[in-house]
Amino acid sequence: MLRGANAINLDTKGRIAIPTRYRDWLTDNCQGQFVCTIDFQSQNCLLLYPLHEWLLIENKLRGLSSTNPQERRIQRLILGHASECELDKNGRTLIAPTLRQHAKLDKKIMLVGQLNKFEIWDEEVWHQQVQQDLESDMSLGMELSDSLKEFSF
C-alpha cells in the first residue's frame, strides 16, 4: 500500500531514491518496475505506477475511442508521456528528462503515496497545492460527488 508524503531529493542524473519502507513491497509486487507519466488533471504533477497497476490503466485507455477528440487527447497525454523505469540495486529510479521538465522538478521533491501509485511534485509546488486544497471552500459552489457525500472517517 502506497501512502504518506515523503520529502526526497532528485540527484543530478534525474534519479529519485524510493524510501526504504516501500522497497520490499514494490519488489514483491512489481519486481521494482514502474511506469511514470504526467497527471493530465494537475499541470505540475507526475504519476508513478507500479507496473501491475499501470497495466490496469492501459486496459482502461485501450477502451477509449481514438476517434473521439476528448478520449484521444487523454490517450495522447497519458500514453505519449509514459516512460518505463525500474529500481536499481540502490533503490533509485530514473525519471525521464521530459517528465522532469513537465513537472518542473528541481532538487527537492515530494513523493506522495496515493494507494496504487505515487504522485511526484516539486516540493514548493506540493506545499502550494496542499495550502490551496486546505483553503478551498466547499460551500463556494463546489458540488460534492455522491461518493464524497457518503465519505466519513
Q: Residue 83's domain is classified under what CATH number?
A: 3.40.1550.20
Is 78 a domain residue?
Answer: yes
Element (H, E) at 19: none
pLDDT digits (tens, 9 = 90+) for 71-100: 999 999 999 999 999 999 999 999 999 999
Q: Give the structural domain span for 40.
A: 2-137
Question: Which residue spans within 10-116 are E strands per DSSP?
Answer: 15-17, 33-38, 46-50, 83-86, 92-94, 108-115
Is 119 a domain residue?
Answer: yes
Cβ atoms of 42 and 142 closer than 8 Å: no
Res 148: pLDDT:
67
pLDDT digits (tens, 9 = 90+) for 115-137: 999 999 999 999 999 998 888 76
Q: Which amino acid is at 45?
A: C
Is 62 a domain residue?
Answer: yes
The total of structural domains in the chain comes to 1
Residue 142 above 70 pLDDT? no
Work out the percent of the chain whose per-residue pLDDT is above 70: 93
pTM for the full model?
0.89
Is 153 a domain residue?
Answer: no
Is 150 a domain residue?
Answer: no
